[in-house]
Amino acid sequence: GAGVSQSPSNKVTEKGKDVELRCDPISGHTALYWYRQRLGQGLEFLIYFQGNSAPDKSGLPSDRFSAERTGESVSTLTIQRTQQEDSAVYLCASRFGPSNQPQHFGDGTRLSIL
């Protein structure tokens, strides 16, 4: 498809389990972002990739959160030892060109921690 693709669409897991969320950006988009959206709130920035490197990880809430990107394409966001407060929608966005260009968002992964 032509848009940003995220999988899974929904994920339910038990507290303490690890989860991996996947993002396939638009082909050719070098910049990639992860955001978290808690229920009824705005989006919180988590991490920014330029190519395969992450020059800004300032939004990751704890060391249980990590992300990687390979081949200047797919990115995975990993949450270890999940907690109930991790329940949220995790959105990925990608951007082509200079920083004034808009970000294109995926539909997100809704993560529910039981």
Partner 1 sequence: AQTVTQSQPEMSVQEAETVTLSCTYDTSENNYYLFWYKQPPSRQMILVIRQEAYKQQNATENRFSVNFQKAAKSFSLKISDSQLGDTAMYFCACGDGATNKLIFGTGTLLAVQP
Span near partner 1 by CB under 8 A; candidates 15-23, 61-69, 71-79, 85-93: 85-93
The Cα 46–Cα 67 span in angstroms is 10
Only one of the segments 11-19, 22-30, 41-49, 70-78 lies at the binding site for partner 1 (rule: CB under 8 A); that segment is 41-49
Rounded to a whole number of angstroms, the minimum distance from the CB of residue 91 to partner 1 is: 7
Which residue in the set 90, 108, 111, 113 belongs to the binding site for partner 1 (CB under 8 A)?
Answer: 108
Specify whether the CB–CB gap between 51 and 72 falls below 8 A. Answer: yes
- With CB under 8 A as the contact rule, the residue among 1, 42, 71, 84 that binds partner 1 is 42
Neighbours of 14 (CB within 10 A): 8
Binds partner 1 (CB under 8 A): choice among 77, 86, 94, 95: 95
Q: Look up tokens 């797919």; give the residue.
A: 74
Q: Classify 110 as helix, strand or coil.
A: strand
